[in-house]
Structure 1
Amino acid sequence: MKYTIMVNEGPYQHQSADTALQFTRAALEKGHEIFRVFFYHDGVNNGTRLSVPPADDRLIQKSWSELAEKHGLDLVICIAAAQRRGLMDADEAKRQGLDANNIAPGFRISGLGQLVEGGIQSDRLVVFGD
């Protein structure tokens, strides 16, 4: 089965981000395909490279990056939600006249069309969070 995953909650504010990561891992281990993981609303915060949780806490952003590298996942952050929350890749930062970016490795910024495409191309769209 081919899945698109939508993550609507941030990494340290709700269980949804952890559950989405665990679901994605389990689906891949069972041989399913992940067409895309789309981060929306506060879920875009799963893609910042500047989060530094306490040493005894989990590093969700790093886990997503490692999973994407290992399995060639397409991790897409919604551009409108990202801009509202101060997340920028190098291209968007340049376009906005900023001198820094903060997107974690393996993530990219794009629009809602990527979510629509994921829904069309996949057998299931699974949403985590409100």
Structure 2
Amino acid sequence: MNYTVLVTGSAYGTQNASTAFLFCQSLIKMSHTLNSVFFYCDGVLNANNLNKSAIDEFNLLAAWQKLNKKHKVKLYVCISAALRRGIVEDEKLSNIMIKKGNFASFFQSSGLVELANSIQISDRIIQF
């Protein structure tokens, strides 16, 4: 089956994002297709590069990045929701860095059109 996962819970403070991550891992282990993970509302806080977990806690940001790197799962972040929550990309002008953003690597900014496209090719959408 083809799945799209929608994450609306922040990285810390709720169980939503960590449960979504565990669900994504299970889908891959069971040989399902994970089209993408779309972060929306407070879920965009998962893409904040300034998130730092305590040394004895699970690093959810690094786990999402590893999921992308190892399994090529697309990690889409709603850019409008991200901007409302202070998550911004790097700003460059002719290859000169103007402002360093806090948008974590391996995540891609997108709009709701990307979510709609993922839903269209999926058998199931699961929201956390």
Please give the TM-score of this superposition, normalised by the length of structure 2: 0.92
Q: CA RMSD, aligned part only?
A: 1.3
Off by >2 Å, runs of 4+ in structure 1: none
Contact 1:89 1:108 in 2 (8 A): no
Give 3-state SS (helix, strand or coil) of 1:51's partner: coil
Contact 1:5 1:125 in 2 (8 A): yes
Residues in 2 aligned to 1:89 and 1:32: alpha-carbon distance in whole angstroms: 32
Contact 1:49 1:103 in 2 (8 A): yes
**2:105 is matched with which residue?**
105
CA deviation string 1:4-56 (max 9, x = no partner): 00000101111111110000000001101111100000100111111112111
Q: Percent identity?
A: 36
Higher helix share: 1
Higher strand share: 2
Please give the TM-score of this superposition, normalised by the length of structure 1: 0.90
Q: How does 1:21-100 map to 2 (within 5 A)?
A: 21-90=21-90, 93-94=91-92, 99-100=99-100
**Structure 1, gaps ≥5 residues long:** none
Give 3-state SS (helix, strand or coil) of 2:6's partner: strand
| Displacement of 1:105 | 2.0
Residues in 2 aligned to 1:63 and 1:104: alpha-carbon distance in whole angstroms: 12
- Count of residues in correspondence between the two structures: 124
| Displacement of 1:2 | 0.6
**Structure 2, gaps ≥5 residues long:** none
Give the aligned residue type for 2:83. Q
Give the aligned residue type for 1:43. G
